[in-house]
């Protein structure tokens, strides 16, 4: 049996290798080589569809933007951050940015390819973040989209499905194509490298938008405290350790302070809304 499976395993390896080699791209912001089997257009279209479904379901369950003041706060902070994100990736000005607050007890937030964002009430209620701290969360998630980490996860999901499809020939299992790849990718963890990249860019975006970089440190101290009992929240399952993350952010604060101070002097405390409803 094992002898019969060797050619299949080799074919699977070759196919995956071909997919990965064909899909490698160099990220223009970080310079890191990323496997991108899924095109950016495909990632954004799939994400928009998945996001619309998520929003529609939350609305039907009366779990969407249930507190007007809280939603307005999130949207106002996000608008300031998006204005700075567009300076880093000008093409993102054409994205149809959206953010909603979902009534869910999880300590969670995310941003899909194309700027489709959600913040969970659990994060706001359990962490009680200041505006500066909430800006660090949102800046981190926006950075994932700018750095195409969601597209990277989607490509990983597609590659994994390709391997499973080839493997199903031996087992006789009939596997259909990958469904809801955008939502599946959203559940996949980012690599530690991607998390570190998003931390670095996120604190910069927040500083340029006029939010105090020191809040990144206080935010993750709150995160560490929140994860102290009963295990870490899902959002942090594969992130760098709390100690390492806080130490890295502390090292970044002196570099980011001039950006924050310059934004404060300019009075960059507002931004034209680029968010859809």
From start to end of the chain, where are the E strands?
24-26, 33-35, 98-102, 109-112, 116-120
205 neighbors 143 (Cβ within 8 angstroms): yes
Tally Cβ neighbours within 10 Å of residue 46. 22
* Predicted local distance difference test score (pLDDT) of residue 38: 84
* Predicted local distance difference test score (pLDDT) of residue 182: 57
Q: What is the pLDDT of residues 43-53, one digit of tens each?
A: 899 899 999 99
Model confidence at 80: pLDDT above 50: yes
Distance of CA 116 to the CA centre of its chain: 10
The per-residue b/e assignment along 64-103, b for 16 or more CB within 10 angstroms, e otherwise, is bbeeeeebebbbebbbbbbbbbbebeeebeebebbbbbbe
Task: For residue 200, give the 3-state DSSP assignment.
Answer: helix
Query: Of the given ranges (4-8, 45-49, 192-196, 246-250), which has the lowest mean pLDDT?
Result: 4-8
Burial of 265 (0-12, 13-18, 19+ CB in 10 A): exposed
* Predicted local distance difference test score (pLDDT) of residue 2: 32
What mean pLDDT is predicted for residues 133-138? 98
Model confidence at 131: pLDDT above 70: yes
* Predicted local distance difference test score (pLDDT) of residue 275: 72
What mean pLDDT is predicted for residues 74-86? 97
Model confidence at 7: pLDDT above 50: no
* Predicted local distance difference test score (pLDDT) of residue 268: 63
Q: What is the pLDDT of residues 149-205, one digit of tens each?
A: 988 888 887 776 654 443 433 333 332 333 355 555 555 556 788 899 999 999 999
What mean pLDDT is predicted for residues 134-146? 97
Q: What is the pLDDT of residues 197-236, one digit of tens each?
A: 999 999 999 999 999 999 999 999 998 888 774 444 544 4
- Residues serving a catalytic function are 141
């Amino acid at each position: 049996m094992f002898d019969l499976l060797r050619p299949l395993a080799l074919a699977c390896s070759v196919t995956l290798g071909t997919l990965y080699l064909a899909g490698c791209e160099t990220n223009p912001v970080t310079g890191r080589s990323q496997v991108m089997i899924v095109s950016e257009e495909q990632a954004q279209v799939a994400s928009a569809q998945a996001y619309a479904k998520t929003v529609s379901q939350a609305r039907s369950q009366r779990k969407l933007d249930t507190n007007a003041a809280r939603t307005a706060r999130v949207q106002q902070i996000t608008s300031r951050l998006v204005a700075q994100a567009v300076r880093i990736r000008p093409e993102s000005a054409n994205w149809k940015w959206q953010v909603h607050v979902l009534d869910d007890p999880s300590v969670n937030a995310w941003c899909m390819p194309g700027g489709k964002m959600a913040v969970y009430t659990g994060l706001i209620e359990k962490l009680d973040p200041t505006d500066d701290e909430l800006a660090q969360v949102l800046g981190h998630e926006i950075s994932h989209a700018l750095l195409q980490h969601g597209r990277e996860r989607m490509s990983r999901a597609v590659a994994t499905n390709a391997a499973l499809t080839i493997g199903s020939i031996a087992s006789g299992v009939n596997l259909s194509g990958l469904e809801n790849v955008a939502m599946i990718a959203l559940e996949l963890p980012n690599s530690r490298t991607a998390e570190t990249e998003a931390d670095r860019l996120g604190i910069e975006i927040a500083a340029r938008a006029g939010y105090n970089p020191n809040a990144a440190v206080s935010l993750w101290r709150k995160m560490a405290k929140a994860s102290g009992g009963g295990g870490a929240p899902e959002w942090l399952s594969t992130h760098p350790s709390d100690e390492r993350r806080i130490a890295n952010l502390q090292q970044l604060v002196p570099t980011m302070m001039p950006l924050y101070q310059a934004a404060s002097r300019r009075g960059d405390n507002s931004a034209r809304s680029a968010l859809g409803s």
